Structure 1
Amino acid sequence: MRIALFSDIHANLPALEAVLAHMDTQNLDAVYCLGDLVGYGTWPNEVVAEIKKRRIPTIAGNYDEGVGLASPNCGCAYKTDAEKDLGQQSIDYTNSIVTEETRNYLRMLPRQIRLTFMDDSKPENKIEVLLVHGSPRKINEYLFEDRPEKSFLRLLEEADADFLFFGHTHKPYHRTLAYEQDGQTRYRHAVNIGSVGKPKDGDPRAGYVILELTPESTLTNPESLKVEFVRVAYDVEKAAQAIEASPLPNEFAQMLRTA
Structure 2
Amino acid sequence: MPTTLAVFSDVHANLPALEAVLRDIDARLGRGEVGAVYCLGDLVGYATWPNEVVVAVQERGIPTIAGNYDEGVGLGSDDCGCAYVTDEDKARGAESIAYTNATVTETTRQYLRSLPRHVRVTLAPPRERKAEPVEVLMVHGSPRRVNEYLFEDRPDDLIVKRVTEAGADIMLFGHTHKPYHKALAVEAEDGETIYRHAVNTGSVGKPKDGDPRACYVLLTVDAERPKTDPDYCQVEFVRVAYAVEEAARAVEASPLPDAFAQMLRDA
TM range (shorter): over 0.9
Residue 178 (str. 1) matches residue 178 (str. 2): no
Alignment of 1:161-172 (within 5 A): 161-172=168-179
Shift of 1:6: 0.2
Residue 25 (str. 1) matches residue 3 (str. 2): no
Residue 134 (str. 1) matches residue 141 (str. 2): yes
Residue 77 (str. 1) matches residue 75 (str. 2): no
For residue 243 of structure 1, the aligned residue among 235, 251, 258 is 251
Residue 52 (str. 1) matches residue 58 (str. 2): yes
* Aligned AA (1:59): I
Secondary structure of 1:77's aligned partner: coil
Secondary structure of 2:20's aligned partner: helix
1:229 & 1:125 partners in 2: Cα distance?
A: 27
8 Å CA contact retained: 2:248, 2:262: yes
Residue 253 (str. 1) matches residue 252 (str. 2): no
* Aligned AA (1:174): H
8 Å CA contact retained: 2:181, 2:200: yes
Secondary structure of 2:260's aligned partner: helix
Residue 8 (str. 1) matches residue 15 (str. 2): no
Match of 2:105 in 1: 99
Match of 2:159 in 1: 152
8 Å CA contact retained: 2:131, 2:224: no
Q: Deviations over 1:203-240 (max 9, x none)?
A: 00000001112353331111232111000000000000
Secondary structure of 1:70's aligned partner: coil
Q: TM-score, normalised by structure 1?
A: 0.98
% of aligned pairs identical? 64
Which has the higher mean CA deviation after the structures are superposed, 221-230 or 16-25?
Answer: 221-230
1:241 & 1:135 partners in 2: Cα distance?
A: 33
8 Å CA contact retained: 1:218, 1:225: no
Q: TM-score, normalised by structure 2?
A: 0.95
1:62 & 1:111 partners in 2: Cα distance?
A: 9
Match of 2:215 in 1: 207
For structure 2, the residue ranges without an aligned partner over 5 or more in a row are none
8 Å CA contact retained: 2:223, 2:232: no
* Aligned AA (2:217): V
Match of 2:116 in 1: 110
Shift of 1:245: 0.4
For structure 1, the residue ranges without an aligned partner over 5 or more in a row are none
